[in-house]
Amino acid sequence: MIKNIVFDFGGVIVDIDRDKAVQAFIKLGLADADTRLDKYHQTGIFQELEEGKLSADEFRKQLGNLCGRSLTMEETKQAWLGFFNEVNLNKLDYILELRKSYHVYILSNTNPFVMSWACSPDFSSRKKPLNDYCDKLYLSYQVGHTKPAPEIFDYMVNDCNIIPSETLFVDDGASNIQIGKGLGFETFQPKNGEDWREKMTVILK
């Protein structure tokens, strides 16, 4: 019986637009943004930021070096926000309904730039931050590991004291789903951009 639901953030709760993000970083001056940015798993300084190995300010400085000019925190943040399209309020309302019957958690590969937006009233036109939609956020840069590393799953399981077999893990990344299954979670892999609410209702029945 499912008692807990764990959502990925980008690609599930909010749609991801990698091409838009690539263009945003190119505008900053990062000519090879297309080879550096990935929908699911970053590399180089982008990965180090998401693993918490670089602070936001250290990342800004190193990105500035790659771009050949100094960048502001706001410029850097806006480039990261290029990944996201407008937030779908129907999904957020659905998640609030789920919270009446289930514990809801978010497990995300992300960084302080994205979360400074998501965990603020600017997140959506409802003026409610992301943390209002879940019991707790588990963020890669705070935990020190990114999915699909088992360590980030283990951290969450131990911290919120859940049983994987009683937990539905929802993620659009195939490698993340594969690890989740291996760790004993029930899984659901919607496509990025999909309205998954009906499918999820069926799964939870």
Q: d(Cα 109, Cα 202) in Å, to the nearest integer? A: 27
The predicted model gives 111-118 an average pLDDT of: 98
Same fold, 2-14+86-202 and 16-80: no
Share of the chain above pLDDT 70, in %: 99
Structurally, what CATH architecture does the domain formed by 16-80 represent?
Orthogonal Bundle (1.10)
The predicted model gives 2-26 an average pLDDT of: 96
Tell me: pLDDT of 168 over 80: yes
Q: How far is CA 175 from the centre of its chain?
A: 15
Q: CATH assignment of 2-14+86-202?
A: 3.40.50.1000
Tell me the pTM. 0.95
Residue 40 — very low, low, confident or very high, per pLDDT cuts 50/70/90?
low
pLDDT tens per residue, range 79-109: 999 999 889 999 999 999 999 999 999 999 9
Q: d(Cα 200, Cα 66) in Å, to the nearest integer? A: 42
Domain ranges of the chain: 2-14+86-202, 16-80
Tell me: pLDDT of 35 over 80: yes
8: annotated active-site residue:
yes
Share of the chain above pLDDT 90, in %: 93
What is the model's pLDDT at position 74?
A: 97
Q: How many CB atoms lie within 10 A of CB 64?
A: 18
Sheet of strand 136-139: strand arrangement = 136-139, 103-108, 4-7, 167-170, 186-188
What is the model's pLDDT at position 43?
A: 82
Tell me: pLDDT of 125 over 80: yes
Q: What is the mean pLDDT of the chain?
A: 95
Q: Which of 8, 15, 17, 171 is catalytic?
A: 8
Please state, in angstroms and as integers, the Cα–Cα distance from residue 83 to each residue in 15, 37, 42, 123, 192, following that order: 8, 10, 13, 14, 12
Tell me: pLDDT of 39 over 80: no
